Amino acid sequence: MKGFEIERKYLIRMPDPAFLAANASPSEIEQTYLLRPSPEINARVRKRGRAGAWTYTHTQKIRISELRRIEDEREIGEEEYLELLKQADPARNVIRKTRWVLPWQGQLFEIDVYPFWQRQAVMEIELEDEAQAVELPPQIRILREVTDDWRYLNSSLSQQIPPEEEIEKGCML
């Protein structure tokens, strides 16, 4: 499916596991970036699911603004997924994460918990348009918005992981 992806992204304090278990649905994600078909296109394959029930997608994205990207995403079979893995970019690491889907006030937030951080995670929400208001869940502690910080894109995390952030003077998360 080809269309626009409009999203806002937040760096958050690691949510309470009990809160996530009671309010959100988890899935495991393994995301592999492919050699770029052209400099402006990011291409990846993704395996997503739980307990052996996997879905596979192939995605290409072109960034056109801080909030908006052209996204071409299609579901693929396991055989095509394995074939595309042969085009993995050797300069990038595979991203593994647990994605928690959290419904809140008619919105759908996605919280990505990565194994390389202990005290922080990334939360995003896809929007209908760039001016759409977002009501953040009060149970989630927002450290800062990172929508326009390229370091927190998964494609960037596959190359370099930013250190966990300090949130108060002299105190780590």
Between CA 173 and CA 164 the distance in angstroms is 8
* pLDDT of res. 81: 97
* pLDDT of res. 30: 97
Residue 173 lies in a domain: no
Do 91 and 122 form a contact (C-beta atoms < 8 A)? no
Residue 162 lies in a domain: yes
Residue 59 lies in a domain: yes
Residue 104 lies in a domain: yes
Domain count, the chain: 1
Closest CA to 104 of 136, 128, 126: 136
* pLDDT of res. 65: 72
Burial zone of 88 (CB within 10 Å; 0-12 exposed, 13-18 middle, 19+ buried): middle
* pLDDT of res. 55: 97
State both tokens at 128.
Answer: 């209908």
Residue 116 lies in a domain: yes
* pLDDT of res. 67: 65
Note down the domain range covering 47.
2-166
CATH number of the domain bearing residue 53: 2.40.320.10
Give pLDDT < 70 ranges for the chain: 1-4, 66-67, 166-173
* pLDDT of res. 170: 38
* pLDDT of res. 97: 97
Do 41 and 61 form a contact (C-beta atoms < 8 A)? yes
